[in-house]
Amino acid sequence: MGVKVLLVEDEDNIRQFTKINLVREGFEIIEAESGEKGVELAEKHNPDVAVLDIMLPGIDGFEVCKILRRKYPNIVIIMLTAKTQDTDKIEGLERGADDYLTKPFNPRELILRIKSVLRRTNTEAENDQIIQDSTFKLDMYSRSFYKNGKEITLTPTELNIIKLLMENPGKAITRDELMDKAWGKDFIGDAKIVDVNMRRLRSKIEEDSTHPKYIVTVWGVGYRWENRK
10 binds Ca ion (CB under 5 A): yes
Q: Which residue is nearest to Ca ion (CB)?
A: 55
Q: Which stretch binds Ca ion (CB under 5 A): 2-10, 43-51, 64-72, 181-189?
A: 2-10
- Measured from the CB of residue 44, what is the shortest distance to Ca ion in angstroms? 22
Nearer to Ca ion, 10 or 180 (CB): 10
- Measured from the CB of residue 107, what is the shortest distance to Ca ion in angstroms? 16
Nearer to Ca ion, 10 or 28 (CB): 10
- Measured from the CB of residue 10, what is the shortest distance to Ca ion in angstroms? 5
Which of 4, 25, 34, 55 touches Ca ion by CB under 5 A? 55
- Beta bridge partner(s), residue 30: 6
Nearer to Ca ion, 30 or 182 (CB): 30
Nearer to Ca ion, 83 or 185 (CB): 83
Q: Which stretch binds Ca ion (CB under 5 A): 9-17, 63-71, 105-113, 177-185?
A: 9-17
Which of 31, 33, 48, 53 touches Ca ion by CB under 5 A? 53
**Do 19 and 43 form a contact (C-beta atoms < 8 A)?**
no
Instruction: Classify residue 180 by its DSSP letter.
Output: I
- Measured from the CB of residue 3, what is the shortest distance to Ca ion in angstroms? 24
Q: What angle do CA 89, 62, 49 make, to 5 degrees?
A: 90
Contacts 24+ apart (CB under 8 A), 107-111: 107/17, 107/18, 107/21, 107/22, 108/21, 109/188, 110/18, 110/21, 110/22, 110/51, 110/78, 111/21, 111/22, 111/25
**Do 219 and 176 form a contact (C-beta atoms < 8 A)?**
no
Alpha-carbon span 119 to 112, nearest angstrom: 10
Backbone angles phi, psi at 209, to 5 degrees: -70, -10
- Measured from the CB of residue 105, what is the shortest distance to Ca ion in angstroms? 13
Binding footprint of Ca ion on the chain (CB under 5 A): 10, 53, 55
